[in-house]
Structure 1
Amino acid sequence: MTTERLFDIANLIALLGWIVLAFAPLARARLVLAARVIGVTLALAYAGLLITSLAGGGTEGGGFTSLEGVTALFSRPEAVLVGWVHYLAFDLWVGAWAMEDAGKRGVPHWAMAPVLFLTLMAGPIGLLVYLAARAGLSRSHRTA
């Protein structure tokens, strides 16, 4: 299967997980679990892609100790795919955690829509926005 096809499949799988999370308030426990299963599926795909990439040999000058080395590592489409699936798996897992945590803390679902979008598009920013929303909107922080 081509790298481009694997990229398309990974994106579709991740998108399914995000759609599931968007509907989480309808059946939070089951839908968060479904998103986590999808996240684990992506993590397994990541492991397989990483092993395959490593078995194919390293990239000359590649490494994690310098920006130049990391750039060299990601100079091949196969390596970019591995990195992309890494992002997809982690961001989805963070989104599932935030959705579950929001339910426990009473953060309203309307506040989660931008969190989910930002976590999908810019993972750490989505996490920061969730933590801020959680601090400001959770039941435990409201005064009666």
Structure 2
Amino acid sequence: MPTPPMTAAALFGTASTLALSGWVILTLTIAFRWRALRDWGPGLIIPLILSTLYTAIIAIHWWGAEGGFRSLADVGKLFQSDWLLLAGWVHYLAYDLFIGTWIARDAERRRLPRWVLIPILPLAFLFGPAGLLLWIMLRTAFQPSFKDQPR
């Protein structure tokens, strides 16, 4: 019996599960100070897998799609395609996890207590740019009390 073709909905679930596992791993690496796992797992490997998936979806489904980037209406037309909507979702998953890991590394380098990440990382997970904004505001406001660790 032939295998049915992969659907955008099935890949949505796979990509979302992979990203969620990256966030769980990131949380554990912060709690247990597993720097190498943090940097290689959620900091590199999982975002690269998601980026590869994104690139493959774009390479296959971009050509012939309606819409573009000239107006909000054109972007809306792009996202009428389930495959390009999935590409947009995977884009968010990859970048949000990458940024979350960067925030965790930056907090450690600045010797920020780990508990301060509690409000920031969930915000980065759910609303990426808002988490990044909160982190930049926090590290800017308290910069004099942070001490950069020598590399």
Q: Same fold (TM over 0.5)?
A: yes
3-state DSSP of counterpart to 2:115: helix
Q: Unpaired segments of 5 or more residues in structure 2?
A: 1-5
Instruction: Give the aligned partner of residue 30 of structure 1.
Output: 37
Kept after mapping to 2: 8 A contact 1:24/1:32? no
User: 2-side partners of 1:104 and 1:34: how far apart?
Assistant: 18
Equivalent pair of 1:22/1:113 in contact (CA under 8 Å): no
Equivalence for 1:65: 70
Greater helix share, structure number: 1
Percent identical: 37
The answer (yes or no) to whether the contact 1:116–1:126 under 8 Å persists in 2 is yes
Residue 132 of structure 1, CA deviation? 2.3
Q: What is the DSSP-based 3-state SS (H/G/I as helix, E as strand, rest coil) of the residue aligned with 2:147?
A: helix
For 1:83 and 1:8, the matched residues in 2 are separated by: 14
Question: Equivalents in 1 of 2:146, 2:122: separation in Å?
Answer: 23
Q: Match for 1:29: what amino acid? A: A
In 2, the alpha carbon distance for the partners of 1:139 and 1:23 equals 23
Report the counterpart of residue 40 of structure 1 in structure 2: 48
Superposition pairs of residues 94-105 of structure 1, within 5 angstroms: 94-105=99-110
Compute the displacement of 1:29 (Å): 2.9
Higher mean C-alpha displacement, 38-47 vs 23-32: 23-32
Q: Which has the higher contact order (CA 8 A, sep 6+)?
A: 1
Equivalent pairs counted in the alignment come to 138
CA RMSD for the aligned pairs?
Answer: 1.6
Residue equivalent to 2:3:
none
Separation in 2 of the partners of 1:18 and 1:38? Answer: 10
| 2:134 is the alignment partner of 1:129 | yes
Query: Partner of 1:52 in structure 2?
Result: 60
Q: What displacement does 1:31 show?
A: 1.9
Moved over 3 A (4+): none
Contact in 2 for aligned 1:40/1:89 (Cα 8 Å)? yes
Per-residue deviation, residues 46-80 of structure 1 (Å, max 9, x unmatched): 0011111124x221xx1101111111111111111
TM-score w.r.t. the length of structure 2 is 0.85
Per the alignment, residue 10 of structure 1 pairs with 15
Deviation at 1:139, TM superposition (A): 2.7
Whole-angstrom distance in 2 between the partners of 1:33 and 1:108: 22
TM-score under structure 1 normalisation? 0.89
Q: Secondary structure at the match of 2:127?
A: helix
